[in-house]
């Protein structure tokens, strides 16, 4: 299995020691030397000999016994009975799609796939491929030669190939690709003679050397770009297509010199040596930093590995009748059913996605090459119907002939994903259950992003392409590393680049939005931003970006690093400063989609809400009640905190009660507002939980205030008041406050606090029940941090006594339950006893996780990242529930509790209530509800539906 981090992955900055080592292992006889004794009639035999020698050289140091291996290489379209189209685990998404397209008659250049099994074996076998697999590859090169009528390494009729990655799950741009492999000084001459197109041949060779130098030899791509740009400036040209044959010859010479300087050896001339090194580089790219980051961000397992696809080259850079492009069968930003894509004439594939030239809209192809355009539309529509999903396809047109290079399920924004899913149900392509499975629950968060306030005054600096919707404001930064650095310091950032590349993935993730001056709607920036749910404006060509100087110039305006800018990804506008935003408007399709989710889910979805505004927001998102109302959050309002502090500083019960009497009307009005908003839905209110010292000022602030008061010679009483606070801070100080005097322990020590809160709750409930604004409240009082039956019994008696007093006085009966928050492991273990008094359990998974692991929530950040990086933990247990340990406690507590009380209501109310994997677990053990923050309610609703439909914890479309 590939390790989580590459131990021998190629350097990206031109490390000569690594290069030299690779070259010594991979060294093979050059095509020139091998061909000397051969005549034309024996050319195939010679090429096989070259291949065998190259393979043998790569295995020089490997004298250990070969592991037993099965079939590791599949030709496109072979094994039809094996169902290649469904073999993503083995062939990867790209290889599986190419095999299936071949079998259905789509024009696909022939080729073969080296499986993900081979990748895993490559890592297990010390970065080497078994001899049997090497022989399979050589045999498949022979098969490819027969399919094309060309010869690999032949001087007169050379076969050129592309070498591309292809993992099970789409990872656009994260791994490596090499095009035009097989070119050398001799095959270049053959290509020129065959095509009678000098410029095309030299352009292809230039591209190949650059890709090989970067991907295989680890030389920074910017060093090649510098050579290219310097020549273009000297010749006073803007586009690569304007380079002459002489320019290209000059650039090739400079590229070779750069490789010689950085690697210590000449650019390899043996095609088989090129192929072996390219294949291994693609395998190693599975563990390059950007691929690791992408897998982490998208929850993709690290042990899957990537396949390698070797495919005969077709060329979009053979002149004006040739082109290359990418497209989608529907608009990936809006979901509209429209043919969507871009292309460039006289170009190769990387030109479109890299944003080097701004491409043309695919509709223009209907005018330039109408027959090809119609064929492309027909094929891609058939592919969408075949796969029953939006297709993201790549194509090349070589001298008027169309080839499909890839098809896969298209990355799309969540808004478009919802619309597409609903539309496809209406069209009969999929059913409702399939539609619900099409969207990852966490993606719904994108729909809740803010939009630019239409009434805001804006200063529009530029307008580019609306590449990914939403609005984002932040300080401009010009490198991915700076984006991460500033974001980690608490700043919101906008990443500004000429164009992004896969190495920028970490900066794109850290940024609020992405702005590029080059590239189109299918550029790297646009595709990745849409997948991440990030706002993106691409191809704003009037912006001059100076990444080294960390600034951009738009007309007469200079924006430097740190200056605030705002992006509107829905219109493509770039604005100066921070612009006001408004809450998003959810589409009609979203309501339909969520209604389908509600029809199939079993789990109820509640919210964590402490204010009427939070409660109203949660209801709008579909909450069915409140699962956690934290009463202590209400204490921090400016007009209340002095009263709370008065209560804490009180030296006896009488003084405490006086302070609590002042607080009671505030608490009552808070609860009354919440009950009215919830309109008869259940509301679970937790009595005070945090230790009292949290309501007091910072000790250092008080010390400083005392010193200032003394220096000003103020009244002694004022100084003594501050000194009393300081003394009380010291009295309340605890070495481990999370295990200290908090929760039910406070209520037992100071029952008057619980009394005040119960009186406020039931007075509010009675007033609402008697009024006409809302339905009678359903009140659930939750006692926190219970670890023993007697703790709950004590607090329950207090609540019942006060409730009966209030209802008798108010002459109103209110429906209520008294339960507990299970967050202490002992509480879970003795749940059968606790259930004799508790009418419901709500698992406080944050504290339960903390106490089960022995991890301090406040301090674990110092080591949790290390644990995750080193694979000690698979996931952060404070984000995704630990089902083996913490989950086991929840399971036995629920089972024990229900044995004692069959009608016991059981749910969770920690942060895990909005995590899809945790929701799957809650469904599987039969909990009744989960409670999440308001903006996680749609996520929880969909996750609960998918759990009911049997979706596994990890899926990705």
DSSP for 551-569, written as a single string: EEEETTEEEETT-EEEEET
pLDDT higher than 60, residue 540: yes
pLDDT higher than 60, residue 31: no
b/e 157-166 (16+ beta carbons within 10 angstroms → b)? bbbbbbbbbb
Per-residue pLDDT at 66: 55
Pairing of strands 391-398, 564-568: unpaired
Per-residue pLDDT at 47: 35
Per-residue pLDDT at 21: 33
pLDDT tens-digit map of 879-899:
899 999 999 999 999 999 999
Pairing of strands 564-568, 573-576: antiparallel
pLDDT higher than 60, residue 365: yes
Q: Are 807 and 813 in contact (CB under 8 A)?
A: yes
What residues contact residue 600 under an 8 Å CB cut-off, 6+ apart? 433, 436, 945, 948, 949
What are the strands, taking DSSP E only, across 855-921? 905-908
**Which of 427-431, 499-503, 770-774 is predicted with the least confidence, judged by mean pLDDT?**
499-503
**Which of 239-248, 610-619, 709-718, 793-802 is predicted with the least confidence, judged by mean pLDDT?**
709-718
Q: Which of 744, 909, 920, 923 is catalytic?
A: 909
Check if 536 is active-site: no
pLDDT higher than 60, residue 374: yes
What residues contact residue 854 under an 8 Å CB cut-off, 6+ apart? none
3-state secondary structure of 163: strand
Per-residue pLDDT at 732: 84
Per-residue pLDDT at 760: 97
Instruction: Read off the pLDDT of each residue in 448-459 and give the average, rounded to a whole number.
Output: 83
Per-residue pLDDT at 505: 84
Q: At what angle do helices 716-732 and 641-649 cross, to 10 degrees?
A: 80
pLDDT higher than 60, residue 954: no
Better pLDDT: 629 or 455:
629
Could you please report the per-residue DSSP string of 33-85? HHHTT--GGGHHHHHHHHHHHHHHHHTTT--SPPPP----EEETT--GGGTGG
Computed over every residue of the chain, the mean pLDDT equals 87
pLDDT tens-digit map of 155-180:
999 999 999 999 988 887 788 889 99
Per-residue pLDDT at 35: 35
Q: How far apart are CA 301 and CA 436, in angstroms?
A: 23
The DSSP element (H or E) to which 395 belongs, if any, is strand 391-398
Q: How far apart are CA 332 and CA 411, in angstroms?
A: 7
**Which of 75-84, 217-226, 503-512, 945-954 is predicted with the least confidence, judged by mean pLDDT?**
75-84
Q: Which residues pair with 409 in a beta bridge?
A: 391
Q: Are 630 and 674 in contact (CB under 8 A)?
A: no
* pLDDT-derived band at 810, boundaries 50, 70, 90: very high
Per-residue pLDDT at 655: 92
Per-residue pLDDT at 65: 52
Q: At what angle do helices 937-949 and 588-600 cross, to 10 degrees?
A: 50
pLDDT higher than 50, residue 361: yes
3-state secondary structure of 329: coil
Per-residue pLDDT at 79: 53
Q: Are 115 and 122 in contact (CB under 8 A)?
A: no
pLDDT higher than 70, residue 536: yes
3-state secondary structure of 930: strand
Q: Which of the given ranges, 88-92, 518-522, 697-701, has the highest pLDDT on average?
A: 88-92
What residues contact residue 443 under an 8 Å CB cut-off, 6+ apart? 414, 417, 533
Q: What token pair was written down for 173? A: 């741009």
How far is the CA of 225 from the CAs of 193, 231, 266, 654, in angstroms?
28, 10, 20, 79
Could you please report the per-residue DSSP string of 405-423? EEEEEPP--HHHHHHHHHH
pLDDT higher than 60, residue 46: no
Q: Would the CA dihedral through 287, 291, 296, 302 be positive or negative?
A: negative
How far is the CA of 14 from the CAs of 250, 479, 615, 704, 712, in angstroms?
22, 20, 56, 55, 65
Instruction: Read off the pLDDT of each residue in 328-352 and give the average, rounded to a whole number.
Output: 88
Instruction: Read off the pLDDT of each residue in 276-300 and give the average, rounded to a whole number.
Output: 90
pLDDT tens-digit map of 614-667:
899 899 999 999 999 988 878 877 788 889 988 988 889 999 999 999 999 999
* pLDDT-derived band at 696, boundaries 50, 70, 90: confident
Instruction: Read off the pLDDT of each residue in 235-249 and give the average, rounded to a whole number.
Output: 92
Q: Would the CA dihedral through 245, 250, 253, 257 be positive or negative?
A: negative
What residues contact residue 231 under an 8 Å CB cut-off, 6+ apart? 243, 247, 250, 251, 254
Could you please report the per-residue DSSP string of 95-151? HHHHHHHHHTT-----EEEE-HHHHHHHHHTTS---HHHHHHHHHHHHHHHHHHT-B
Q: How far apart are CA 86 and CA 99, in angstroms?
A: 10
Per-residue pLDDT at 11: 37
Q: Which residues pair with 181 in a beta bridge?
A: 161
DSSP designation for 587: P
Q: Which of 140, 449, 506, 524 is catalytic?
A: 524
Per-residue pLDDT at 140: 97
Neighbours of 325 (CB within 10 A): 25
Neighbours of 479 (CB within 10 A): 17
Q: Which residues pair with 905 in a beta bridge?
A: 840
Q: How far apart are CA 404 and CA 106, in angstroms?
A: 7
Percent of the chain with pLDDT over 70: 90
Q: How far apart are CA 481 and CA 483, in angstroms?
A: 5
Neighbours of 221 (CB within 10 A): 16
Per-residue pLDDT at 82: 42
Q: How far apart are CA 104 and CA 382, in angstroms?
A: 10
b/e 537-565 (16+ beta carbons within 10 angstroms → b)? bbbbeebebeeeebbbebeeeebebeebb
* H-helix segments, 165-197: 185-195
Percent of the chain with pLDDT over 90: 63
Per-residue pLDDT at 30: 33
Q: What token pair was written down for 398? A: 């070589």
* pLDDT-derived band at 708, boundaries 50, 70, 90: confident
pLDDT higher than 50, residue 38: no
3-state secondary structure of 476: strand
Q: How far apart are CA 217 and CA 30, in angstroms?
A: 18
Check if 909 is active-site: yes
């Amino acid at each position: 299995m590939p390790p989580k981090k590459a131990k021998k992955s190629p350097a990206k900055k031109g490390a000569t020691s690594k290069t030299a080592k690779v070259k010594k292992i991979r060294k093979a006889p050059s095509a020139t030397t091998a061909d000397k004794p051969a005549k034309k009639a024996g050319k195939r035999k010679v090429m096989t000999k070259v291949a065998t020698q190259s393979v043998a050289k790569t295995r020089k140091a490997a004298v250990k016994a070969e592991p037993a291996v099965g079939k590791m290489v599949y030709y496109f379209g072979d094994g039809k009975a094996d169902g290649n189209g469904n073999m993503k685990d083995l062939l990867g998404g790209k290889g599986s799609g190419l095999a299936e397209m071949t079998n259905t008659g789509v024009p696909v250049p022939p080729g073969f796939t080296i499986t993900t099994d081979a990748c895993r074996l490559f890592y297990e076998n010390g970065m080497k491929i078994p001899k049997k697999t090497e022989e399979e590859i050589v045999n498949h090169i022979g098969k490819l030669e027969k399919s094309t009528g060309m010869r690999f390494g032949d001087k007169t009729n050379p076969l050129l190939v592309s070498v591309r990655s292809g993992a099970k799950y789409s990872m656009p741009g994260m791994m490596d690709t090499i095009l035009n492999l097989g070119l050398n000084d001799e095959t270049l001459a053959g290509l020129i003679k065959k095509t009678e197109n000098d410029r095309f041949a030299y352009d292809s060779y230039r591209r190949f050397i650059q890709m090989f130098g970067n991907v295989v030899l680890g030389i920074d791509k910017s060093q090649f770009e510098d050579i290219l740009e310097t020549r273009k400036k000297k010749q006073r040209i803007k586009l690569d297509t304007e380079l002459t044959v002489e320019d290209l010859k000059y650039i090739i010479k400079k590229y070779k010199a750069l490789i010689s300087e950085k690697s210590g050896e000449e650019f390899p001339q043996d095609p088989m040596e090129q192929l072996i090194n390219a294949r291994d580089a693609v395998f190693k790219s599975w563990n390059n930093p950007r691929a690791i980051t992408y897998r982490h961000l998208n929850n993709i397992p690290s042990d899957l590995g990537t396949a390698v696809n070797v495919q005969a080259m077709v060329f979009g850079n053979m002149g004006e009748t040739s082109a290359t492009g990418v497209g989608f069968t529907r608009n990936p930003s809006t979901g509209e059913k429209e043919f969507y894509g871009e292309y460039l004439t006289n170009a190769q594939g990387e030109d479109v996605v890299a944003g080097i030239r701004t491409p043309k809209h695919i509709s223009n192809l209907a005018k330039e090459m109408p027959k090809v355009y119609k064929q492309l539309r027909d094929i891609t529509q058939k592919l969408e119907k075949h796969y029953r999903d939006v297709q993201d396809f790549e194509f090349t047109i070589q001298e008027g002939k169309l080839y499909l290079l890839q098809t896969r399920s298209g990355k799309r924004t969540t808004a478009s994903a919802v619309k597409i899913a609903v539309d496809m149900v209406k069209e009969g392509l999929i059913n409702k259950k399939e539609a619900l499975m099409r969207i990852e629950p966490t993606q719904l968060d994108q729909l809740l992003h803010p939009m630019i306030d239409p009434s805001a005054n804006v200063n529009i600096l530029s307008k580019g392409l609306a590449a990914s919707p939403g609005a984002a404001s932040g300080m401009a930064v010009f490198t991915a590393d700076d984006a991460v650095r500033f974001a980690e310091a608490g700043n919101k950032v906008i990443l500004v680049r000429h164009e992004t590349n896969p190495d920028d993935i970490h900066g794109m993730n850290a940024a609020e939005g992405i702005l590029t001056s080059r590239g189109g709607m299918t550029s790297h920036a646009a595709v990745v931003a849409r997948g991440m749910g990030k706002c993106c404006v691409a191809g704003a060509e009037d912006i001059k970006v100076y990444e080294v100087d960390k600034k951009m110039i738009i007309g007469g305006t200079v924006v430097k690093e740190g200056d605030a800018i705002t992006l509107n990804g829905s219109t493509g506008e770039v604005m100066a400063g921070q612009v006001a935003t408004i809450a998003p408007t959810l589409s009609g399709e979203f309501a339909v989609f969520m209604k389908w989710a509600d029809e199939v889910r079993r789990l109820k979805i509640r919210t964590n809400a402490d204010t009427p505004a939070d409660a109203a927001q949660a209801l709008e998102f579909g909450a069915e009640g409140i699962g956690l109302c934290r009463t202590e959050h209400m204490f921090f309002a400016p007009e209340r905190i002095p009263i709370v502090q008065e209560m804490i500083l009180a030296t006896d019960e009488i003084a405490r009660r006086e302070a609590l009497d002042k607080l009671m009307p505030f608490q009552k009005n808070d609860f009354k507002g919440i009950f009215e908003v919830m309109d008869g839905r259940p509301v679970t209110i937790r009595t005070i939980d945090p230790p009292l010292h949290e309501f007091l000022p910072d000790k250092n602030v008080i010390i400083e205030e005392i010193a200032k008061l003394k220096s000003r010679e103020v009244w002694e009483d004022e100084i003594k008041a501050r000194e009393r606070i300081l003394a009380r801070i010291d009295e309340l100080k605890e070495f481990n406050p999370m295990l200290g005097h908090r929760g039910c322990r406070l209520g037992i020590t100071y029952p008057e606090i619980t009394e005040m809160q119960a009186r406020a709750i039931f007075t509010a409930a009675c007033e609402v029940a008697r009024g006409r604004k809302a339905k009678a409240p359903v009140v659930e009082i939750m006692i926190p941090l219970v670890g023993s039956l007697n703790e709950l019994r004590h607090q329950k008696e207090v609540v019942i006594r006060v409730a009966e007093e209030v209802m008798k006085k108010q002459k109103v009966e209110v429906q209520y339950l008294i339960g507990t928050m299970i967050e202490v492991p002992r509480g879970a273990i003795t749940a059968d006893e606790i259930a004799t008094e508790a009418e419901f359990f709500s698992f406080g998974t944050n504290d339960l996780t903390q106490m089960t692991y022995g991890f301090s929530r406040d301090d674990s950040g110092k080591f949790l990242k290390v644990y995750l990086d080193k694979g000690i933990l698979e996931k952060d247990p404070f984000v995704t529930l630990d089902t083996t340990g913490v989950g086991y406690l929840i399971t036995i507590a629920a089972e024990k509790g229900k044995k004692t009380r069959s009608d016991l209501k059981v749910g969770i109310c920690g942060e895990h209530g909005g995590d899809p994997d945790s929701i799957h677990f809650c469904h599987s053990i039969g909990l009744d509800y989960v409670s999440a923050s308001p903006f996680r309610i749609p996520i929880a609703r969909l996750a609960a539906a998918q759990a009911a439909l049997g979706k596994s914890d990890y899926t990705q479309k």
